[in-house]
Amino acid sequence: MNTHAGRKLSRPTGARTSLLRNLTVSLFRHEQIRTTVPKAKELSRFADGVLALAKAKTLESRRRVAGEVNDREVRKKIYDVLVPRYQSRVGGITRIHRIGTRNGDNAEMALIRLVQ
């Protein structure tokens, strides 16, 4: 049994972290993105954590969010739009919809979006 949480997504640690950060920025910017199901599941966990950090509204949490979200406009959107919208939610800010398979390699695709 593997005691470590999370999927490796066939990438070394740095590339996986970068991937999740970039997917998170895209998700918060567009409020929905299309990706593979395993990436969507990991992104859901990661994005929930980032938004939970942002809800804390302390200097430390702002710095940690800035470490995860490199885009200044997206950070502004997180604090001005998303945190007030999800303030009363404990978790589960994303929803994953399976949308079939990709033509090229038959990978299962998903649409991940922020709940309204």
Task: Write down the pLDDT at residue 7.
Answer: 85
pTM: 0.90
Q: Residue 4: its pLDDT value, please?
A: 62
Q: What pLDDT shows up at residue 3?
A: 45
How many C-beta neighbours within 10 Å does residue 79 have?
Answer: 14
Q: In angstroms, what CA-CA distances link 93 with 28, 104, 108?
A: 11, 30, 22
Look at residue 48 in the predicted model and tell me its pLDDT: 95
Q: Tell me the pLDDT of the chain (116 aa) as tens digits.
A: 444 678 899 999 999 999 999 999 999 999 999 999 999 999 999 999 999 999 998 999 999 999 999 999 999 999 999 999 999 999 899 999 999 999 999 999 999 999 98
pLDDT at res. 1: 41
Tokens coding 18: 């970068």
pLDDT, residue 29, reads: 97
- What are the structural domains, with CATH classification, of the chain? 14-114 (3.90.1030.10)
Residue 25 pLDDT: 97
**What is residue 37's predicted lDDT score, i.e. its pLDDT?**
96
